[in-house]
Amino acid sequence: MTAELNAATAAASPWEQAILSIDGKQVEWGAELVLRRGEINYVKVTAPPAIARAINLGLVEGGGLNIFARPDFGDWVEPVDGQFTWKIIPDAGKSGRITLVFLSREVVEAWEHRSLVISRKLADEVDVKIDGFEVPAQGSIWFYRDKARTVTLTPKSGSPWPRLPVTLTCDVYDGLDVANVVSAPAFDSEQNTYSWEVTGNTKSGRFWLKLADKGMTTPIDLVTSKLISSNLADEADLFIDEKAVPPIGIDFYHREPRIVSLRPKYNSPIARFPVALKRSIIEGLKPEDLRSEPPFDGFQTDHRWTVTGVSGGGTFRLSLAGESMTHELDAPNCRVRSEQSSLRFYYANASQYAPLPPEVVNQPVGSWNRVDLKLMHADGSSIAGAPVTIYRPEKEPVSGRTDVNGVMLGFPDYQYTTPGARTFEAVATLPSGEVRVTYLINVQP
């Protein structure tokens, strides 16, 4: 009986003879109006004269929004060619619910409409989260192979978003195939659950996720997603002083820093991923005998550390650990030693070291001579790129840098036209301090 009464009441409404449209699209009887914020919304009513010879459009509930109408709310509007028209303009900055009412002198009943004011941009109306956390506006979203992450979409506080079907799409790049990123429910299908389980597999690379609402003009493009392995060794190699670490490891000398770095493998998107440098003492050392900048055990997105053996002697291991990864990247065992670097005067043409003091090199007056420099670690490995300056009596200082073999070439040949003893001095500047060497010559008549 109640259902029959409701149906009779609905059928009796005189406004069912009217047609309401917004921006040229007819609004079904009983449906909510959708007005776009920050835009002109063209509202049109077509009604027979028996229903309305003039219509008054009122805003009975504004929902805290700033909304303007032309003609103004409350004005009686005459039809033009049988149609009543308004321009409704909500402010751009806020969404919400409002109530509009159409009044006519010809009928007693008001035509009330519960209406939505929303943006055309989906991002203005909803929040996207992954595993319950908001997606950053910048940076990257990290996915591990074979580990699903949940993408969810929820209305923002106060948004009247009408929960229309949403489609999640995925574009793959940089080494990934379409099959390497899957979703449940499937990509490219309209869904009303607003939750997707996204999983990457097999390869590493970048992909982009996008959410599109059937009723929105502007979809949500998420920041770059990066698919990586949970084993850091699949993604990168550990280098010391820009070189692969040999199986026998590397010697670290007191106060002589070495650069530890992470180098991505081909097509790996591991750059800017949080990675920590760890050290394990194996024998003979205390934790304070090794120093790192940035410090050990802190996650860094700039994959470069300066490591120095400060004191003591013994064996240790360096490892790189990716945040939440299951496997670390280990270097071969390395050692801390107390020996220092050596800077020597050097005859590059002969591949021979010059004598050290107190030995003196005799040279005839007026002869042309040359000498170079070589900078080495105590284990015989070269130190490249170090600034070196040579000071020679009665000559201008000359500066340069060591090459990949630790040799500083390019000092000009020299000549002395007066006899006597002279002392050359060279200074190499290292992060640990200066290394000096002298060269004694005796210019003979």
Which pLDDT value is given to residue 113? 93
Which of the four pLDDT bands, split at 50, 70 and 90, describes residue 215? confident
- Domain boundary (65, 92, 118) is at 118
What DSSP letter does each residue of 43-82 carry, written as one string? EEEE--TTT-SSEEEEEEE-TT--EEEESPTT-EE--BTT
Per-residue pLDDT, averaged over 227-244, amounts to 96
Sequence-ordered strand ranges (E) for 145-285: 149-155, 166-173, 181-184, 190-191, 195-200, 205-213, 220-221, 225-228, 236-240, 243-244, 251-253, 258-264, 275-283
**Lowest-confidence segment of 12-16, 241-245, 297-301, 408-412 by average pLDDT:** 408-412
Instruction: Tell me: do 134 and 102 sit in the same domain.
Output: no
Task: Decide if pLDDT at 338 tops 90.
Answer: no
Instruction: Tell me: do 148 and 110 sit in the same domain.
Output: no
Range of the domain at 102: 2-118
pLDDT tens for each residue of 359-372 = 999 999 999 999 99
Instruction: Tell me: do 100 and 6 sit in the same domain.
Output: yes
Per-residue pLDDT, averaged over 2-31, amounts to 75
- Domain boundary (118, 136, 170) is at 118
CA–CA distance, 95 with 86 (Å, rounded to integer): 20
Mean pLDDT of the chain: 92
Note the pTM of the prediction, 2 decimals. Answer: 0.70
Domain count, the chain: 4
pLDDT tens for each residue of 182-195 = 999 999 999 999 99
**Lowest-confidence segment of 6-15, 143-152, 191-200 by average pLDDT:** 6-15
Instruction: Tell me: do 155 and 242 sit in the same domain.
Output: no
Instruction: Tell me: do 321 and 404 sit in the same domain.
Output: no
Task: Decide if pLDDT at 6 tops 50.
Answer: no
Which pLDDT value is given to residue 11? 53
- Domain boundary (337, 356, 379) is at 337
User: With contact defined as beta carbons under 8 Å apart, do 130 and 75 qualify?
Assistant: no
User: With contact defined as beta carbons under 8 Å apart, do 395 and 441 qualify?
Assistant: no
pLDDT tens for each residue of 346-363 = 999 999 999 988 899 999
